[in-house]
Amino acid sequence: MASKAVYSHRDPMLKKRDDFEDMLEERRNSSDLRYALKCYTPVLYKGLTPCKVSELKQMVLQSDQLGYVITQVSKEKGVTSDEVTGEAAAILEEMAQRLQLSTVRFFAFTLSKVFKTLFRSICINEEGLQRLQQAIHNHPVVLLPSHRSYMDFLLMSYILYTYDLALPVIAAGMDFMGMKVVGEMLRMSGAFFIRRSFGGDKLYWAVFSEYVKIMLKNGYAPVEFFLEGTRSRTAKSLTPKLGLLNIVMDPFLKGEVFDISLVPVSISYERTLEEALYARELLGVPKPKESTSGLFKARKILSEDYGSIHVYFGQPVSVRSLAESRVNRSQFNLIPRHIPTRPSEEILSFVNDSAYRLVRAQEENMVLKPWVLLAFVLLQKQAAEEKQGTALDELTEQAVWLRDLSRQYGAFLHWPDHIPPSEVVSSSLSLHRGLVRISEGRVQLALEQVGGQQVPGETRGAITPEEELLNKAVVILSCASYRNQALNVFIRPALLASAIHTAASNRKQEIYNSFSFLRNMFSNEFILCPGATVQDFEEACYLLVKTGTLQINQQEVLITERGHRTLAFLTSVLDPFLQGYQVVCRFLCEQDGLTEKQFIPAVRKFIIKHLLTGRLRYTEVLSSDLQKNALAALIRLGAVQKIKGGEEQGTLKLNKVMLNSLEDTLGGKLPTQKSVVAHL
């Protein structure tokens, strides 16, 4: 437990961050064509033996690793190894990138044009790029950008090209391949394509992992992929996927390279291109297939002001130092390294922890705009059913209060301090005018007018209450996606605030128990590193004590006079999620027999009913993301069991006693240590 509370956390306020430069500024002042044709001579890896795309493929096909699997597969399937090799070659053909400078130059030219019309500025921390250059020179590099938009990887390559840095090869999902021309273009700008699922396909896995490793080990190019696996539709970071991280760490763990640098990159959009698209997706309006024409349409619709982008290249993280005194590398000594082996528990947990660390590093350097804070206020007001909206100066006051709070918690907030707050607020509102309505000096979310405008193709005629609700929900979820950008700043204090709120007494031990319960419950929802409960608790305590919200002594946690406002705010941050998870529990309690496939549509219907009857306040609970996370958490906790294989494949087996108890505990009706889950 947190008995030996060491409040030695580095003060987040003192976090040092680099300054930004706007890279579009030069584009606006000089020729794009000349820029696209500029001399490009990046610094390369010092151990690089240059090789061509075709040689790369040869190396993969001739590698011992692949050879081993080919023999294995040919024995298993009873076909000749030549056939399997042919299959492997075909997989590789489908997968491989064909990076060529001319395509990159083409993109550099067109993207310059596009970016200049869409964005006010693209701000980069140039010091981060210098660090990256150094890293590329010294060790193989893995670039790990956050993933919020289709733009991300084009943007990354664009930046690297502009700053004369080595162009990366990028792991991309196969869905792009649907767009013929674009797919090939992307391939030629360094993308390589991976099937979304290839579960048991040994051969595919072998080709894929060997391909990535060879590019990485030889320093052919920095390898770029998205730790989150896919674009986050909610703007919250997603639980990291470990497959690729495992692959890129392997050469270090097996001693094939001295070290590998992992570089987290945080890309923050002031306005996301896919804003409404995501909201609709989360609400179950099926997402348009990622086809070329779709993308172009999207661009046409979106030809308006998207504010600025901030890209922060974080401190390179050395895999060697991550592994130091954590991983016993000699475990790889007894099996030839080309024989594929399942990573040990030790390695898996190491990779997992590293992944969380990296995602947190991404989160920490995400730039937050004032609008993000406004979204907090507006959503809370909306949920409180303040129909007439919020007065502008009240909104400003609250935003300024939040500004100060979030800064104390270490948020990377870009609030222009030289401009009067009221102006900051009004310019933020005007950039997001699609989401808010201002009338008579009062601001509220633009819930009513949305209908016909934002959801084209919807059937005309009378709008049902359900449709109306969904239309509202689009705006609310869009708005929530901005609020979500800052959730990571508040999540630990918010968990603590809620724990204080639900705990029966102010005894520290009891609060810790509640905290631990909530944290465990929400660890699919937020980036909370497994096994770090004590650290998180201490971090939250530290922040709340430092900001004068709490006083904590040996035994007790006391709320200060001025602490109430902060605590109220913090509890309200977590409240939609608390309520949401309760509804999901309630829903499941009322089911008999349900398959995983049926879950989302059914729970959605259930929630709509609750919302329409006013039993549930938070429209955002309609987000399928929340619902999925809740289900995953319940499965993890054992309240729901997913049946694998057999007749009942995919059926959810429900432990209703536990679900009931979880619901009550979340609602604060049961003390955590008494509930079924306390000893989970």
Using CB under 8 A, list all residues that contact other proteins.
255-259, 328-330, 332-333, 336-338
In 3D space, the residue among 362, 451, 148 whose CA is nearest the CA of residue 274 turns out to be 148
Tokens representing 456 are: 């084209």
Element holding 159 (H helix, E strand) = helix 151-162
Q: How far is the CB of 253 from other proteins (least distance, A)?
A: 9
In 3D space, the residue among 432, 422, 466 whose CA is nearest the CA of residue 611 turns out to be 466
Closer residue to other proteins (CB): 259 or 664: 259
- DSSP 8-state code for residue 368: B
Amino acid of residue 548: G
Q: How far is the CB of 53 from other proteins (least distance, A)?
A: 22
Q: How far is the CB of 48 from other proteins (least distance, A)?
A: 13
Q: How far is the CB of 138 from other proteins (least distance, A)?
A: 10
Q: How far is the CB of 66 from other proteins (least distance, A)?
A: 16
Closer residue to other proteins (CB): 328 or 453: 328
Closer residue to other proteins (CB): 195 or 338: 338
505 class by beta-carbon count within 10 Å (0-12 exposed, 13-18 middle, 19+ buried): exposed
Q: How far is the CB of 255 from other proteins (least distance, A)?
A: 4
Question: DSSP string of 502-542?
Answer: HSSS-BHHHHHHHHHHHHHHTTTTS---TT-HHHHHHHHHH
Q: How far is the CB of 258 from other proteins (least distance, A)?
A: 4
Q: How far is the CB of 81 from other proteins (least distance, A)?
A: 21
The neighbouring-strand residues paired with 504 are none
Closer residue to other proteins (CB): 59 or 108: 59
User: How far apart are the C-alpha atoms of 227 and 240, rounded to whole Å?
Assistant: 5
The backbone torsions φ and ψ at residue 382, rounded to the nearest 5 degrees and listed phi first, read: -60, -45
Closer residue to other proteins (CB): 175 or 259: 259
Q: How far is the CB of 207 from other proteins (least distance, A)?
A: 21
Closer residue to other proteins (CB): 255 or 530: 255
Three-state DSSP at 333 gives coil
Closer residue to other proteins (CB): 330 or 439: 330
Question: DSSP string of 403-467?
Answer: HHHHHHTT--B---TTS-HHHHHHHHHHHTTTTEEEETTEEEE--STHHHHHSTT---SPPPHHH
Closer residue to other proteins (CB): 169 or 319: 319
Closer residue to other proteins (CB): 284 or 343: 343
State how far the alpha carbon of 337 is from the alpha carbons of 205, 223, 261, 341, in Å: 16, 22, 22, 9
Q: How far is the CB of 619 from other proteins (least distance, A)?
A: 54
Closer residue to other proteins (CB): 247 or 500: 247
The backbone torsions φ and ψ at residue 349, rounded to the nearest 5 degrees and listed phi first, read: -70, -30
- DSSP 8-state code for residue 644: -
State how far the alpha carbon of 354 is from the alpha carbons of 253, 319, 491, 537, in Å: 13, 9, 20, 20
Closer residue to other proteins (CB): 333 or 551: 333
The answer for residues whose C-beta is within 8 angstroms of residue 261's C-beta and 6 or more apart is: 135, 136, 138, 139, 140, 141, 142, 316, 317, 318, 319
Asked if 351 and 249 count as a contact pair (C-beta separation under 8 A), the reply is yes
Q: How far is the CB of 164 from other proteins (least distance, A)?
A: 25
User: How far apart are the C-alpha atoms of 25 and 35, rounded to whole Å?
Assistant: 13
